[in-house]
Amino acid sequence: MAGSVPFARSSVYQPNGTLAGLILRQGEQSAQNWQNVGNTIAGSLRDIATQVREAPIRKQEAEARDLGLTQARGAVAAQQRQVSDQAALDTAMGSGLDIDAIEASLPGHLKLQVRKSWNDAETAAATLRSARTKASEAEADYMGTLAAGVQPFLSGEDGGIGAARVALQHAKAAGFDDADQLLQHLESNPQQLPTIVDSLIAKSPTQQKIRGEAADRALKTQQEQRAIEAAKAAAADRERDDRRAEATLAETIRHNKEQAGIERTKAGQTALGSSFWAKDPTTGAVRRMTEQEARAVGAQQPDTADMRNKEASKKTAARAVDAVRALGSKILTKVGPAQRADAIKRGVEAVFGSDPEFRTYQDSRMALAGTLAVEQQGSRVSDADVKALWLPMVPDAYRDTKESNELKWELIDLMRGKEPKAGGGGTVKMRAPNGQMQDVAADQVDHYRSLGATVVK
């Protein structure tokens, strides 16, 4: 153990001679040497333990030194690369090239960075343009709304300047600094206000949309009204066709009955003697007569069904002409433009139901034209021909006046074979456009010539 000796002197053993002392001293020296060796070994062991304990610490310190050196080298390299990149960017950006050329001139690791920066700028620019467009449209809508409010007052006594003044006061409060200057300009040049109002409305997307929708509604209403009128006309045509079909069926039934009666009469002629149906010219009655009796009274052949129908149609037409003529005399009472002005006024009142005479007369013209067409041509006429050829013959409250009203009715009378009113200077035979010939007063020849009639020589 450290500090102990292998041979310790005791009180019993005491060296008495020199050799003994020498041996003692050698032993003490040897012991001291072994003690030193032991101390050295113990110190070495302690150093080894200390080194073992401190080895991880020294390793960490070495690694820290290496890491710091690596980081320092990386920082220097990064700084050098940053300087190089900045120089490359400065050169590319200052070249005046487009983005594709700039991107092509840069190192690979800068391409994405520059492209991303460019795309971000493009996105921001698009957002800015959109915001400016919306702001511009909002401003145009605002000014268009103000102009639309002024427009109804343009026909006022002040020409709309008062309304424009109020609108521009509102615009000034909304931040339009030019409102006062514009108002001064309009007060000095009021004739320009309608043009400015129209221009502002035309620039407003909302006002254009409102006007477009209003125009669409008006067009739709007009189309619906035309469809209703077309449906009414079609229904009226079908009704007329149905009436004609019913009349034809009734005539067929009547004819069949008449033929059956004739057959029965023929079968009984032996008992009655030789007789036949004839028309008495004196009484107009149709009855059975012998040949001698028919000769004595000058009997005529009985009217056929077609002749009877034509006669009935003439009577119906006569009543229709008289009724429409009488009603027209209350409508066409003025001369020249005064008649047209009156017709427009009464037409508006008729639309609202306050002038039934005017509405009835105008609606009855088409029906009378169809009646005249059948009477003159002897057969059914298409609606297109009635409108084109016969309807213009019936006086129109909007187009005719008192004079043309009278002239047209006289021409209708002439075409129907009715004697015109007597006039001075004798009569002249004339032929109407439908071929009907009639004697007319000499002072009316020029008038009927203007309507298409010709003198028969």
Of 24, 31, 22, residue with least CA distance to 2: 31
Q: Do the domain assignments include residue 76?
A: no
Confidence at residue 424, expressed as pLDDT on a 0 to 100 scale: 45
38 vs 16: CA distance, rounded Å: 31
The pTM of this model reads 0.32
Residues 239 and 344 in one domain: no
Q: Is residue 80 part of a domain?
A: no
Q: What is the pLDDT of residues 25-60, one digit of tens each?
A: 777 777 777 777 667 776 666 767 676 667 777 777
Strands (E), 54-132: none
Containing structural domain, residue 117: 111-203
Q: What is the pLDDT of residues 387-445, one digit of tens each?
A: 888 888 899 888 888 888 888 888 888 887 776 554 444 677 888 877 778 777 777 77
Q: What is the pLDDT of residue 7?
A: 42
* C-alpha span between 330 and 104 (Å, rounded): 94
- Give the span between the Cα atoms of 142 and 144, in whole angstroms: 5
User: Do residues 169 and 262 both lie within one domain?
Assistant: no
Asked if 309 and 251 touch (Cβ cutoff 8 Å), the reply is: yes
Helices (H), 378-400: 383-385
Both 368 and 315 in a single domain? yes
Residues 241 and 322 in one domain: no
pLDDT category of residue 14 using cuts at 50, 70 and 90:
very low
Give the mean model confidence (pLDDT) for residues 10-36: 63
Q: What is the pLDDT of residue 272?
A: 47
| Residue labelled with tokens 């960075």 | 113
> Which stretch of 209-223, 224-238, 304-318 has the lowest confidence by average pLDDT?
304-318
Mean pLDDT is lowest, of 89-98, 355-364, 376-385, for 89-98
- More confident of the two residues 427 and 384: 384
Residue 404 placed within a domain? yes
Percent of the chain topping pLDDT 70: 79
185 in a structural domain = yes
Residue 28 lies in a domain: no
Average model confidence (pLDDT) across the chain: 77
Average pLDDT of the segment spanning 241-258: 84
In a domain, 131, yes or no: yes
Contact between 413 and 435 (Cβ < 8 Å): no
Same domain, 429 and 411: no
314 and 218 fall within a common domain:
no
What H or E segment, with its residue span, contains residue 12?
none
pLDDT exceeds cutoff 50 at 19? yes
Task: Please check whether residues 163 and 254 belong to one and the same domain.
Answer: no
Domains: count for the chain:
4
The distance in angstroms from the start CA to the end CA of the chain is 182
Say if residue 236 is in the same domain as residue 319. no
Structure tokens at 210: 């409102």
The verdict on residue 104 lying in a domain is no
pLDDT at 105 over 80: no
Same domain, 407 and 311: yes
Same domain? For 331 and 411 the reply is yes
User: Which residues face 438 on adjacent strands?
Assistant: 430
300, β-bridge pairs: 279
